[in-house]
A and B are shown apart, each in its own frame.
Chain A
Amino acid sequence: MTLSLGKRSLCLFVYLLVLDGVAIFFFTRGFLLTRTELSVFSECSDVSNCPSCFDRSLKCHTEDQQAEDLAANRPTSGLLIDSHCTHGLDEGAKNVAAGTSKQVNDFNEGCWTLPAIKKAVILIIDALRFDFVAHSRNFNGEPKPWMDKLSILQRLVEEQNSTARIFKFIADPPTTTLQRLKGITTGGLPTFIDIGHSFGAPAIAEDNLISQLQRTGKRVVMMGDDTWMQLFPTQFSMAYPFPSYNVKDLHTVDDGVIRELFPALHRNDWDVLIGHFLGVDHVGHIFGVESPLMVEKLKQYNDVIENVATLLKNMSEPGGLLEDTLLIVMGDHGQTLNGDHGGGTPEEVETALFALSTHHNSRSSLPESLKSCEVEDPVIGCISSIPQLDFSASMSSFLGVPFPYGSVGQVNAELFDLVARDAVSSTTHVEDDTVWSKASLTLMEHYKEVLCINSWQVKRYFEAYSAVAISGFPPQDLARLTDLYSTAQNINTTERDLFCSWASSTDESSRKATRQRILDEVQKQVEAFREYLKAAAALARSQWTQFGIEWMVVGLSFLIASVVIRAAALRRLSHSGKQRWEAGLFPTKPLLINSIGASYPIIMLVVLHPLLTRTPLQPVVTYIRDNLSIVVVCVTVGASVMAYLTSSPRSFSEKKFRTLANEQKSDHRKWSWDMEVDFRSIAATVFVILHGFSLFSNSYIVAEESVINYLMASSSIVYLRYSIKARSKIVQALCFMVLVWVLPRVQTLALFKGMKAVDSSGPLYSTLASRNLLLQVILTCTTVVLPLLVVTWILRCRLGRSHYCAGRLWKTVRSGVSISYFLIGVYWIIMDLTNTEFITMDDDMMKIVRLYIPRIIYMTSVVVVLATITAVIFSWARPGVEVASSAKLLIETGASVAAGSSGTILLLMGRRGPLISMLVILEVWCFLELQAITTTSGSTDLSDAEDERKRVDKIVQSFGATADWSMVALQLFFSTGHSCAFDGLHFSAAFIGFDDFGFYQQGILLAVETFGASHLLPVFGLPVIILLGQNLLRSRGRDDERMVITEVTKGYLWFGTLRAIIAVITTASVCIQRRHLMVWGIFAPKFVFDALGFLVLDVLVILATAIFLIFRRPKQHEA
């Protein structure tokens, strides 16, 4: 196995990528996919297995005519007796049931519960903030422009005899539409992994409200967001989906919904109508909540809701088309003021639910103890909150369909009160206390029964889940729940006796007292049920972030192994001045032998499985056979790690090692870690450690941008100290300091926030752009054109003139880059001028500008990068290339790839791109200048050649520069407006140059936008930093090429090590904090970003190494 050093390092990087990939896959498997989805559906007939929730109700009514009187009220109030559970009723009760059957039949026959409503209109407003709905008086400070715009909702609630209520609706993070729709319909908790499917959502496999409606023969009509179609491809009787991915499109979905909504309301071909508006979400994403467009959108919805409510009122008379219809207006999640959502902050989690019942009873008959108060409104009283978990169960009970099998929510008391409150007492209009008390009793009886079914259903699900799932609920928790359940079941033993005594008594006052006692009893039981359901939901919430600890541990240890391997490789590389040591960088033979050798016995074990039955090994073998691929991967990778770490130079050749050791006796220190470190390395280590530790706390993760800026400032101080010490380049050091401060602040300028709104054509330009035309033009020139000119000038003149980049390749690259920069300038100028109506263009022209200029820029980037690669392959292999120029060629290649791809990245960064890139180039220039000081200031007494030789052997040599470079890359990530959260993704950037959504093209653009500036450019720039910084160009020794390769490989290894350490820390912190409140809001997104970024980095390093190190002709062949 005689691989050249370059090929060996490439192999090493590929191996590390595989290792990291496996590690992250294992960890993710344990961390993100935790809930077993049961594909069992609730059936109508299931309820026959239910315990005696109903039949014991009131056996003695026939004994008294009065009882019948009461009983007659009961079914009309909405829901009572499930048809499958009535067999326990005696003859008299059946008569009663028959007497009221006329009314009952109107509601279609209920399945588990009798329906309280016939139809439901559910209007979902995406990203509905709670303060859009609640009155501004409930919030501190001045009323904001977006408040009180849905005034119809407030009016409906405030008016006399109102049958409407507003609730605070609490979502579970992650607050993305798909996750929320799943949560709302299944009544379960989301699994985090689904967020990965956001671009291509699979259909819901679990039982859910929509499927239940379909199975019980209800017709569901959907209009709006096409996410519904992905979740429920076949369940709707009719659907009008509209595309949801193009966030710039504010109106298509809403206009479509409004167009279809009103005709549908007049038709009788549906039972549940779902309208999903997306406009508010899109306005938020593109313009932010504070934009005037938001107000416009809310006003539009206000009109729609007003019309729907009027229609409902007019058509809800008995026999009307919309009789017994419930109108619900709700949000799926909230949004921050910037229009972001996905996390778990109150702004994102709190949304609103508005319910309007067409029953004409405005008086609540709910006992005070069941009411809760979230917000105390001076006019409408309490606004209570409903978890989204409860929605599915509540709607199922109102519509009389079986509760979804996996729902863990409870039927909400206040919503139940609103929807199912006694219709009889309203028609009599008696404000008599007796009647009310009767109504209250009736309602509570119903609620108790519904909760009884609800609890039974939740209990059934928990039992089934524990039986099926690999990691079920802890037995002691389950036992506690069962206790709660049986307590609730057994509580009302006295109720029936009380009822009988009430029914038999004739004395009004004693009847009243008895009734009160019955009410108390019922209430006690209701509270017991609620307690059970609450405990169950809490248990589910805590357990369904149930982690596969074993997987996480395996993944984490592989990640740690990857760090260790990098360190080992670095150590081996630092001795690689001698050729025979290179083998240690990637010991091919031991790795292959060990990894194949380790997996062999396992496969043999499985093959021989039949022979091993009834031996003690059998369970192990069965387990292995069931998870064969994973076990094999695990063992192979583990064995390879062991092989790598144990393959010391000694094992390659003991003899050679000895002789080498004798040779090196004079310079004994080379055999140990060369700890001759400089101050900068120590400082860099401190900064890395600080950054690492900060990732254990959610506050620091949120403030990571400030942390990075702080550490960058610290390292700029270190450089300042160096430059003062060396008495040179103080200006550069000060510039670096200023740039470190300026760079992250560019993107926060109000300038770009305003501009962000302008880049989409729409009615907004009238408010924003018309503020001052001249100002706009000046802004465009100074923020886009000027920086572009500077950057081009630097690339064309400064870099071109310097002797590093003078080849033909660079000339080609230069012209390509100039063209794409010119086009970027043209693109933004035209966008600005048309938006300000300074020039008008017809649509075709606009389309060309909007679509084709970006595409040309993308193409140019691709061509330049490809050209560089081809040039590298062909020209470097040509004989006659000067040997000493290999470092030069490397620098040229790195600069070419970086410059070539910069066009695309610049465009995707948006309007602030040019300015930021100018600042970045300045910063990098300062950084480079400062590298020279720190490396030369150390040892001045050694001769040049000796100095170089000594330096190459040092393990920490490139560490300081690489650590600071890694920090620069991190700062770049944050200063281009990214953050480690899903709302930090710039979806709008993916639509530059494209109008329509395509999974691959938009995915690629989004990936380039996210990782381009912070991963691609730094990786390709790293050799430049290392080689220029160490002045390796000066040396012309015979080992020049080897030295260059060694240095670059070391640089990449250090870079990878640093990022691997960060990835390990993030992973470990996510693992440790897995029960943290913020785990889904903060830690998990951070983990996903870091893990993805780490893998992207690995891939890019492989690409870069391949380009730099492989495609060159070995030196020996030239001679």
Chain B
Amino acid sequence: MEGAKVETRKREFSGKDAGSVRKQIADAHTQEMVHRSKPCAGKVGIVQALCGTGVFLGLWFVPAMMGYNLIDQPVETLRICFALSFPVLLISYSTLRLQPEICPMWWAAFRGLLSLPVGIVAASFVGTVFGAPISYESAVKTFHWAALISALTVVPVAVVVGGSWSTWHRLFARTEPDGPLELALCLSAHCAAIGSWVGAWPMPLDWERRWQEWPVCCTYGTVGGYLLSVIFSIAWYSANRGASSEGEKKKVN
């Protein structure tokens, strides 16, 4: 999953040689557009900022207040971070759900809750394939890390999009997000995953630091990537507030 999201730039390259595919996509795209009311960029930005703050506080401030830190008590800290950021993500993103007239808010939150175990299993599997140790103690750590990363990647999409396979496919396999909301979802998920991937790089170095252990540096990478994406997308929205809506119109036409 992580690597699947490695390339956000994918669309730059797939665009050239896949004219017909693009056309099909555009068709499907306009169909979807018809019955979708889009939340505005400002609201997305606020939700993102809220989530980013939640994650940031959850990883650094709250554990520090309680006398924990990620390096010495990774499991506890991850648990606190998850417990703090998950409800924030769940509730704030459910205000952004698609088709709010059909889908009540509790249902959006509920499907987010449902997606969590699936995300945890998938993320644990991927983490293990990438070389996470498989002893019992490490498995507990892997589980907590997987909970955090799936809360940051899978859950928001599940809350907002729900079970629409075509949208998932479009977001994660083709990386062709549409509109500010999807861009935000896609960007933050990819950034968190890539951050985690990059976070593993210092692990083999022989510096013998505690933070090099699994899953400390990967967690830093995940959260770092996520926060970067939040900052980037907020900055981007505020910069092109006017331009983006015009562009949207052009695209539809």
Contacts and interface: CB of A to CB of B under 8 A. Distances in A.
Interface of A: 676-679, 682-683, 697-700, 702-703, 706-707, 709-710, 713-718, 720-721, 724-725, 727, 737-738, 740-741, 938-941
Nearest to A727: B169
Nearest to A686: B6
B117 to A, nearest CB: 19
B204 A939 contact: no
A724 B131 contact: no
B13 interface: yes
Nearest to B207: A699
A721 B129 contact: no
Interface of B: 1-4, 6-7, 10, 13-14, 16-21, 126, 128-131, 169, 172-174, 197, 200, 204-206
Nearest to A741: B129
A679 B10 contact: yes
Contact of B13 (A677, A709, A738, A740): A677
Nearest to B200: A710
B192 to A, nearest CB: 15
A1110 B123 CA distance: 50
B205 A699 contact: yes
Given A699-B206, A724-B172, A940-B21, 6 more contacts: A676-B16, A676-B17, A697-B205, A706-B204, A713-B130, A713-B131
Given A710-B131, A939-B18, A940-B20, A720 B4 contact: yes
A604 B213 CA distance: 65
Contacts of A678: 13
B20 A717 contact: no
Contacts of B13: 677-679, 682
B15 to A, nearest CB: 12
Contact of B128 (A697, A724, A741): A741
A622 B97 CA distance: 85
A724 B173 contact: yes
Given A682-B13, A709-B131, A721 B3 contact: yes
Nearest to A721: B4
Nearest to B165: A727
A714 B3 contact: yes
Interface centre among B2, B13, B16 (most CB of A within 10 A): B13
A706 B212 CA distance: 15
25 contacts: A676-B17, A679-B14, A683-B6, A683-B7, A702-B204, A702-B206, A706-B131, A707-B204, A709-B130, A709-B131, A710-B130, A710-B200, A713-B130, A716-B3, A717-B1, A717-B6, A718-B6, A720-B1, A721-B172, A725-B173, A725-B174, A738-B129, A741-B129, A938-B17, A941-B18
Contact of A717 (B3, B174, B204): B3
A700 B202 CA distance: 9
Given A741-B128, A940-B20, A703 B4 contact: no
Given A698-B206, A699-B205, A740 B129 contact: yes
Contacts of A683: 3, 6-7
A714 B6 contact: yes
Nearest to B169: A724
Given A682-B7, A721-B3, A724-B169, A716 B129 contact: yes
Most A Cβ at <10 Å: residue of B2, B3, B19, B21: B3
Contacts of A725: 169, 173-174
Contacts of A718: 3-4, 6
B151 to A, nearest CB: 20
B7 A737 contact: no
Contacts of B19: 941
Nearest to B127: A713
B107 to A, nearest CB: 26
A585 B196 CA distance: 44
Nearest to A709: B131
Given A698-B206, A724-B4, A717 B173 contact: no
Nearest to A725: B173
A959 to B, nearest CB: 14
Contacts of B3: 683, 713-718, 720-721
A727 B128 CA distance: 25
Contacts of B174: 725
Closest 5 CB pairs of A and B: A717-B3, A703-B204, A721-B4, A725-B173, A699-B206
B129 A713 contact: yes
Contacts of A721: 3-4, 172-173
Nearest to A698: B206
A716 B3 CA distance: 8
Contacts of A738: 129
A682 B13 CA distance: 10
Most A C-beta atoms less than 10 A away, residue of B2, B4, B16, B21? B4
Contacts of B169: 724-725, 727
Contacts of B126: 713, 717
A811 B208 CA distance: 56
Contacts of A706: 131, 204
Contacts of B131: 706, 709-710, 713
Nearest to B130: A713
A706 B129 CA distance: 11
A809 B17 CA distance: 42
A938 B14 CA distance: 8
Nearest to B7: A679
Nearest to A693: B201
Contacts of B14: 679
A710 B204 CA distance: 11
Contacts of B205: 697, 699-700
Nearest to A690: B201
Contacts of A697: 205
Contacts of A714: 2-3, 6, 130, 197
Contacts of B128: 741
Contacts of B2: 714, 717
A463 B141 CA distance: 61
A957 B40 CA distance: 43
A676 B14 CA distance: 10
